[in-house]
Structure 1
Amino acid sequence: MTRTGGVAPRLAEALAVVLGVEQIPLRLRAWDGSEAGPEGAPRIVVRSRRALRRLVWAPGELGLGRAYVAGDIDIEGDVFDTFAALSSAGRLSVPGGSPDAAPGERLRLLGTALRLGAVGPQPPPPPEEIDPGRHGRRHSRDRDATSVSHHYDVGNDFYALVLGPSMVYSCAVWDDEATGLDAAQQIKLDLVCRKLGLRPGMRLLDVGCGWGSLALHAAREYGVDVVGITLSVEQAALARKRAAEAGLADRVDIRVQDYRDVDDDPFDAISSVGMAEHVGRAQMPAYAARLHDLLRPGGRLLNHAISWRAGDTSWDRDTFIARYVFPDGELLRLGETVAALEAGGLEILDVDALRGHYALTLRAWVRRLEEHWHDAVAASSEGRARVWRLYMAGSALAFEAGAMGVNQVLAQRPGGAPPPLRRTAWV
């Protein structure tokens, strides 16, 4: 039986302060069984006073994220409906993260916490959190390796449950919504190979090769020799295993290596799919120049990367995504990426915008995570599964709203054979 009065109305006022709104866009149930908020709205459960204490210490997106990852706050019903309501409210609607509450609002929040007996030391963050201020120069080789390991070395079994048999962790390409995730990923892999103009006997460098899916497809279907590089030890181990099982170990060389350390050029083509987000704005000119130098004249580069389309183009260090998902990640505007590639000596041949495709991909990943929730928790941790659910659902909504895009930029090192006259050569 739902209680009227009780803790929930005060919690609703506190959450309204954090969100920067007059009334919360959610129905809230408190630890004492009381409820508040608009009837029929998406529902959340605040399970303990610790959730409120987290918001007192971090009154914004980070505090909410910590409370959800730790299980202090939970969601009832559809995750997309709940996050859509939250992301449309006040501060959370600000692209790139939400500013914390003002000093006066913090005092109101502290007063509510005092009345509800929630004042106390700052709760430790969930173990899935990483401190962006850790030692090491930003985007140095060692720090980049640590950041990549934080995101990708969370268990290959976990990723297999979310990604499915394709083991592709980047935007798929869908003919329509009925295509299905696995088929859409195969379409994407083949599209990349055709854009690069791969032919038997060529050498392909796959930068950020993940679990080797593109490398295997290119070797098997196009007869090329592939060098795949990643900074994730777990990714490399599985990619090598998959190559051996496919009888392609002599054609696919998987390395744990930084792109800055590749020295066995030239390559006929380079793919960089979902990797440039880890490079950083300051390093983009050197990244573009290095990939240019690794290509033979006339060789093509396909750079597939998420772009930021609204507001600031970098994540504040105290946002959820910076501490839990992509530490040191930076999203560039599409124009910045194109300018860096051109400044690096590459000619732009084509730009393909895939924003709607990524929203479909993310929704499919969330469905798979939820369908395999208990196995995913067993393969990693409940906190890790919650991180991925929050980040993927929130990202899907951001793509749908147009705050983020994803683009395949096809470029060529001058010299060699001229590019096709029409893009029909690969579409």
Structure 2
Amino acid sequence: MGFWKRVIESRLRDTIREGGLEIVLPGGENVFLGPDRDNALRVSLKTSGWLRRILFDPDLQFGEAYVDEGLVQETGDLYDLLDLLWTNVLDATGEGGSPWSVLRKLSRTVAQFNLQERAARNVAHHYDIGNDLYRLFLDEDMQYSCAYFPDADTSLEDAQRLKKDHIARKLCLKSGEKVLDLGCGWGGLALHLAKTADIDVLGVTLSREQFGLAQERARAAGLDKRVTFRLEDYRNLDGTFDKIVSVGMFEHVGVPHYQEYFDWIAGHLAETGSALVHTIGRRPGPGATNPWIARHIFPGGYIPALSEILPAIEKSGLVLLDIEVLRLHYAETLKAWRERFLSRADEARSLYDDRFVRMWDFYLASSEASFRHGFHNVYQILVGHRQDAIPLTRDYMYR
């Protein structure tokens, strides 16, 4: 038996309790893990260097190996492989047990210290790589956040419309109100709210690509008098707003800035107003951003636990009005995005290259697995200054 086969078997012998995994080692030897050999997924490792890197720091290097073809999946779909690992290998924190994970938790404050210049760079890394990419897999309204699925048969287009409707109902919009959309994306939610009620909406983003397209869409819809977009950090805004909504932006704030964020909302929300924060949440408690995601997809990003959000709300003086947990909705959203992305992979290659397609496939598939296994979910949090800022029972959302 070769050296690497002994290492793999000693490290992973008892980890695969369901399903099966066959690993083809660089020297050609095969290692079988798990009870189901007949249906085992097969992967091959191309060099001993990649094998060492994965064993040393799996949280980072597994994704690196897949993207750079140091690890090649020979049977099954990438999601099947990631699902197998989530089921058997990853612990309750969503990490592979690497000692590096402890260091990443300790250093997360530095990694997420998002002053304005750094925040703008982080946003540009992900959102300014080209609107044509996002058109490949998003719905027609360019909604890049968790949709709302009454059932698994709901189309992505309908689920994103239902998400916007759900948010509009929660905000209890009234004629003449001023609404702020923090992190407005390509403008779809702001325009939808303006069509729902006779209101004025200001949307802010740090992405130049999103800003330009949002302006075009407002003009094309004839709503540019009522909906305004600005390329601006929210911390520079003045004025008071009757309603504030933030969808998919809080994940980019960073833990050191949570108090600043809710203090800002408290200072700019009207006395009778309400604010809705829609954010991905981390179920097991405080942790650190997956290093592969932080390096390649969302630098400076972090998905918070409720235990990190609520103290900042309490200290800001805001009243917690409602929390809704959207379970599995994002898993269905990501599944739909990945299917669309892979169906147009050739177009993505023409925009970028093969490596980029593998990177985004890994991002979408691993994200779906994290939501499917309950490590991540979505919170919709309503806050205000007064207990009566919204109706006293939830049925107002569904009338």
Contact in 1 for aligned 2:9/2:31 (Cα 8 Å): no
Determine the C-alpha separation between the residues in 2 that align with 1:382 and 1:14. 32
Name which of 134, 137, 143 aligns with 1:168. 143
AA of the residue aligned to 1:236: F
Residues 195 and 137 of structure 1, relative CA distance in 2, 3 Å threshold: closer
Determine the C-alpha separation between the residues in 2 that align with 1:403 and 1:367. 22
Residues 212 and 89 of structure 1, relative CA distance in 2, 3 Å threshold: same
Q: CA deviation at 1:277?
A: 1.1
Contact in 1 for aligned 2:94/2:370 (Cα 8 Å): no
* Alignment map for 1:253-402 (pairs within 5 Å): 253-263=228-238, 265-310=239-284, 312-315=286-289, 319-402=291-374
AA of the residue aligned to 1:88: T
Contact in 1 for aligned 2:168/2:196 (Cα 8 Å): no
Determine the C-alpha separation between the residues in 1 that align with 2:112 and 2:315. 25
Residues 342 and 311 of structure 1, relative CA distance in 2, 3 Å threshold: closer
Contact in 2 for aligned 1:155/1:380 (Cα 8 Å): no
Q: CA deviation at 1:156?
A: 1.0
Paired-residue identity, %: 37
Name 2:71's counterpart in structure 1.
73
Q: CA deviation at 1:373?
A: 1.3
Name which of 208, 212, 227 aligns with 2:187. 212
Name 2:23's counterpart in structure 1.
28
* Corresponding residue SS for 1:88: helix
Name 1:158's counterpart in structure 2.
133
Name 1:425's counterpart in structure 2.
396
Determine the C-alpha separation between the residues in 2 that align with 1:386 and 1:301. 38
Name which of 117, 141, 156 aligns with 1:181. 156
Residues 176 and 28 of structure 1, relative CA distance in 2, 3 Å threshold: same
Name 2:381's counterpart in structure 1.
409
- Deviation string 1:61-81 (CA, Å, 9 cap, x unpaired) is 211111111233233322221
Residues 308 and 21 of structure 1, relative CA distance in 2, 3 Å threshold: farther
Name which of 152, 176, 179 aligns with 1:201. 176
Contact in 2 for aligned 1:230/1:255 (Cα 8 Å): yes
AA of the residue aligned to 1:343: K
Contact in 1 for aligned 2:285/2:306 (Cα 8 Å): no
Contact in 2 for aligned 1:27/1:40 (Cα 8 Å): no
Determine the C-alpha separation between the residues in 1 that align with 2:355 and 2:81. 19
Which stretch of the first structure deviates more once superposed, 24-33 or 76-85? Answer: 24-33
* Corresponding residue SS for 2:328: helix
Contact in 2 for aligned 1:206/1:272 (Cα 8 Å): yes
Determine the C-alpha separation between the residues in 2 that align with 1:48 and 1:300. 56
Contact in 2 for aligned 1:31/1:47 (Cα 8 Å): yes
Residues 269 and 308 of structure 1, relative CA distance in 2, 3 Å threshold: same
* Corresponding residue SS for 2:308: helix
Q: CA deviation at 1:14?
A: 5.6
AA of the residue aligned to 1:68: Y
AA of the residue aligned to 1:201: G
Q: CA deviation at 1:174?
A: 0.8
Q: CA deviation at 1:372?
A: 1.3
Unmatched runs of 5 consecutive residues or more in structure 2: 101-106
Determine the C-alpha separation between the residues in 2 that align with 1:196 and 1:175. 20
Residues 249 and 10 of structure 1, relative CA distance in 2, 3 Å threshold: farther
AA of the residue aligned to 2:277: N
Residues 160 and 16 of structure 1, relative CA distance in 2, 3 Å threshold: farther
* Alignment map for 1:11-160 (pairs within 5 Å): 20-21=12-13, 25-29=20-24, 35-37=30-32, 38-47=37-46, 51-52=50-51, 54-55=53-54, 59-75=57-73, 76-90=75-89, 92-93=90-91, 95-100=93-98, 138-160=113-135
Name 1:238's counterpart in structure 2.
213
AA of the residue aligned to 2:137: V
Residues 54 and 335 of structure 1, relative CA distance in 2, 3 Å threshold: closer
Unmatched runs of 5 consecutive residues or more in structure 1: 103-131
AA of the residue aligned to 1:86: L
Contact in 1 for aligned 2:286/2:305 (Cα 8 Å): no
Determine the C-alpha separation between the residues in 2 that align with 1:15 and 1:182. 45
Contact in 1 for aligned 2:92/2:284 (Cα 8 Å): no
* Corresponding residue SS for 1:306: strand
- Deviation string 1:136-166 (CA, Å, 9 cap, x unpaired) is 9821111111111112122211111121313
Residues 15 and 202 of structure 1, relative CA distance in 2, 3 Å threshold: farther
| Paired residue total | 383
Residues 64 and 137 of structure 1, relative CA distance in 2, 3 Å threshold: closer
Q: Detail structure 1 runs of 4+ shifted over 6 Å in the superposition.
A: 31-34
AA of the residue aligned to 1:348: L
Contact in 1 for aligned 2:91/2:97 (Cα 8 Å): no
Per the normalisation by structure 2, the TM-score is: 0.86
Residues 275 and 39 of structure 1, relative CA distance in 2, 3 Å threshold: same
Determine the C-alpha separation between the residues in 1 that align with 2:197 and 2:72. 47
Q: CA deviation at 1:32?
A: 7.7
Residues 226 and 68 of structure 1, relative CA distance in 2, 3 Å threshold: same
* Corresponding residue SS for 1:93: coil
Determine the C-alpha separation between the residues in 1 that align with 2:245 and 2:170. 10
